[in-house]
């Protein structure tokens, strides 16, 4: 078997090329699958094979260490609503690390901004009608 990156000869069953370190897709043969654990530790090839013997289901279920834990999002939505520039800034800061918090603060910021615009338009309309009623008498 040859390495797809550097074309170096790689022994059968190795997971990485010894020359360049590129990961090699393991090709299983019946002989490798029947090895005992004692034989598997004896050679470097067997150690690489032993790493690939772990079922992928178990690896996917293992918890990730130091993963950020997200708490409640309602408070961040309220903060984004009341102070929409802060909510917008938090959205852009947290969008990759804390996606739920970012979404909540972004929604709050959007709703706060829309309400501010509607109140501004309402204020202008109210001033116009008050001005018209004052000068019509």
Q: Could you tell me if 79 and 56 lie in one domain? A: no
Asked if residue 67 belongs to a domain, the reply is no
Q: The whole model's pTM is what?
A: 0.46
Asked if residue 13 belongs to a domain, the reply is yes
Q: Could you tell me if 100 and 47 lie in one domain? A: no
21: left (phi over 0), alpha (psi -120 to 50) or beta: left
pLDDT tops 70 at residue 67:
no
Q: What's the whole-number average pLDDT of the chain?
A: 75
Q: Could you tell me if 98 and 131 lie in one domain? A: yes
Asked if residue 69 belongs to a domain, the reply is no
Q: Could you tell me if 79 and 31 lie in one domain? A: no
Q: Could you tell me if 93 and 53 lie in one domain? A: no
Q: Could you tell me if 51 and 6 lie in one domain? A: yes
Alpha helices (runs of H) in the chain, residue ranges in sequence order = 30-33, 37-42, 44-53, 56-61, 74-82, 84-94, 99-135
Domain edge (last residue) among 9, 37, 61: 61
Give mean pLDDT, residues 72-76: 84
In order of 9, 29, 109, 132, the CA distances from 136 in angstroms are 96, 96, 41, 6
Asked if residue 82 belongs to a domain, the reply is yes
Q: Could you tell me if 86 and 120 lie in one domain? A: yes
Q: Could you tell me if 28 and 80 lie in one domain? A: no
Domain with 14 in it: 1-61
pLDDT in tens, 2-31: 787 888 888 877 777 888 888 877 544 454
Domain count, the chain: 2
């Amino acid at each position: 078997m040859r390495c797809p990156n550097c074309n170096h000869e790689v022994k059968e069953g190795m997971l990485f090329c010894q020359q360049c370190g590129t990961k090699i897709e393991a090709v299983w043969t019946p002989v490798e699958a029947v090895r005992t654990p004692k034989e598997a530790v004896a050679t470097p090839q067997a150690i690489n094979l032993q790493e690939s013997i772990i079922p992928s289901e178990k690896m996917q279920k293992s918890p990730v260490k130091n993963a950020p834990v997200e708490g409640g999002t309602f408070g961040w939505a309220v903060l984004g609503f009341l102070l929409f520039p802060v909510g917008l800034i938090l959205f852009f800061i947290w969008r990759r690390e804390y996606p739920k918090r970012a979404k909540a603060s972004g929604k709050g910021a959007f709703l706060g901004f829309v309400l501010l615009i509607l109140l501004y338009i309402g204020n202008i309309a109210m001033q116009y009608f008050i001005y018209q009623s004052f000068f019509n008498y």
